[in-house]
Every structure is written in C-alpha cells, then in structure tokens.
Structure 1
Amino acid sequence: MMELSTEDLSLEKVLMECTDAAMIIEENRLATFASWPFGEGCKCTKENMARAGFYHCPTAKEPDLTRCYVCFREMEGWEADDDPVKEHARSADCLFLQLGKTEDELTFRDVANLERARNKNRVKKLSAFGESQISNHLESLKKEVKKLKRARRNAKQV
C-alpha cells in the first residue's frame, strides 16, 4: 500500500505529476479514507467509495472531497445515504463505471483501456486547469496595470 499526503492528491499535483497513479489499486484508494466520517449503516462507507473508483482528497474547505481516479470527477457534500456508484454515474463517460467490474475481474486489456481513458481525461482536465490558471494570471496582470496607470496619473497631478 502506498502512502500519500493530502497535498500529493491536490488537483494540481495529480494533473501535473500524476501523483495518484497508484489509485488504480482499490486498496490504495481505500487507504485515503482514513478520516472518512461515514461508517457502518451508511451507503457511502469508505469501502463503497473506493469500490466506486473514488479516493479521498480533502482540502480545508472541502473535507469530504473525493475524486475518481479514471474520469477525475470531483465530488463533495457527501451524505450518509448517498450511493457512490449512483453519484459517480453522473459522470456519463467514466470507463471505470462502464466496465462495472471489480478489481479482481479486470483483465490486462481492461487495465490498459482504463489507463488510456485516464490519460485522455487527465489531458482534458489539465488543459482546462491550464486555461483557468492563465485566465486568473491575466486578470491579476490587468489589475496591476490599472494600479500602475492610476499611480502614474496621481504622480502627474502632484
């Protein structure tokens, strides 16, 4: 079993460095749920979450944030009666769900196809993440330019 910190499972690290590669193994996904609040008598137990393809990647603002290791669908706001498979099914294009197999039932071809789908989804998510980062940086630059122009005008008035 691989031990990862919450920081290692941040979306940025996962997309840029593939720090969640070990999450293909259900036992590794399960290990991320050490502080998961739902136990026996709930539908969204840590076992059911890991079986549905999720791993736990909490943040200060989202303590119950989870992510699928194949489609990268992030979900939070879990409640005791939430069914992880049904919730995950909202991500229509997840090959993990489409296969509907347990880890033991996966063939070599299945694993190869899952990795191919995962890489395709990672590239899409990375592209969107990069666009967002660029957009945020551009907005910051615009604000700085406005400040500089204002300071320049004020300096001329003095």
Structure 2
Amino acid sequence: MDLTNDEITKMYFYENRLLTFVGWPFEEECACTPENMAKAGFIHTPSGNSPDIAQCFFCLKELEGWEPEDDPEKEHKTHSNCNFITLKKPVEDLSVEEFLRLEKERKKFLIKKNCKQAIDKFEEAVKLKRGQIIQTAMGEE
C-alpha cells in the first residue's frame, strides 16, 4: 500500500489543500483566506451555484455560506468532532503509528458518511414504495 500516492493522503499536507482553493471568493483582508482554510483542513469543493463550499478532507464536513470574518479553525471545531483539526503537532512530525491511527479515524468518517448515504437512499426508496402501495390500495377501494 503506497500512502504517498493516494489522492486523499496527499490532502494531509497543507500545500496540497491550498492548491484546491482556485476561485475561492475570499482572498485578502478576510479571516477565511485560502491559507487559513487550508490550515484548518479544508479543501475547496465548489458547485455551480455555491462557489464557497469547503469540505474537511478528513472528517468530510462540508460548510458553505462563509462570511469574510469567519474563522475556519473555529468553524471547523464548532461543526465537527474532527481528529485532524485537534492535532497537537504537524502531520510531518507524526510517527508512522500516529499517522496510521489518524488514518484509521479518517476511514471511520468515510464509512459513516457512506452508511448515512445508503440509509438515506433506502429511506427514500421506502417512502416512494409506500406511496405506490397507498395509491394502489386507494385505487382498489
């Protein structure tokens, strides 16, 4: 397993996160500059009508609606229980064991997100099927 070539693993490093902030609407004289966003673990994940969506590469928390005075680190800590934002030392100074333990926690966030998406999809299908059953039952009365 080559962890250095994995796209997500690259995001552990500030410089790579910073590179994602092309077109970020807050550049200068703001608390949420690309530099501060990247330091707080965020990557820029804009959509067509939301140019200010940022997602933590680690805990996958997405935040949008940024204001110039928003502090990325504070916002991240407020909205997520993220292991990356609470690191006490730079990624470069982690031992292999510490890094692998951290990566295990990141995988847990990914599994939780995937499970939630699957549950949401299932519940939507159930809702649709329930509606069809009710329509069928009403039509037969």
When normalised by structure 1's length, the TM-score is 0.73
> Quick one: structure 1 residues 102 and 21, their matched pair in 2 at CA, closer, same or farther if it must change by over 3 Å?
closer
Amino acid corresponding to residue 128 of structure 2 in structure 1: S
Q: TM-score normalized by structure 2?
A: 0.80
Q: Tell me the matched-pair count.
A: 136
Equivalent residues of 1:51, 1:102 under 8 A apart: no
Offset at 1:77?
Answer: 0.8
Of 20, 23, 37 in structure 1, the residue corresponding to residue 11 of structure 2 is 23
Q: Could you say which residue in structure 2 is the equivalent of 1:132?
A: 120
Provide the aligned C-alpha RMSD in A.
2.4
Contact kept? 1:29, 1:55, Cα under 8 Å: yes
- 8 Å contact from structure 2 (residues 59, 80) kept in 1: no
Match for residue 43 of structure 1?
31
* SS in structure 2 of the partner of residue 112 of structure 1: helix
| 4+ runs deviating over 6 angstroms | none
Structure 2 unaligned regions, length at least 5: 1-5
Identity %: 36
Distance (whole Å) between structure 2 residues aligned to residue 82 and residue 107 of structure 1: 33
Q: Does 1:34 align with 2:19?
A: no
1:80 to 68, 78, 97: 68
Q: Is the 8 A contact 2:53 2:62 kept in 1?
A: yes
State the distance in 1 between where 2:99 and 2:79 align.
19
2:57 paired residue number:
69
Give the secondary structure class of the aligned counterpart of 2:84. helix
Structure in which a larger fraction of residues adopt helix: 1
Unaligned runs of 5+ in 1: 1-17
Structure 1 position 32, deviation (Å): 1.6
Structure 1 residue 149, shift from structure 2 partner: 4.8
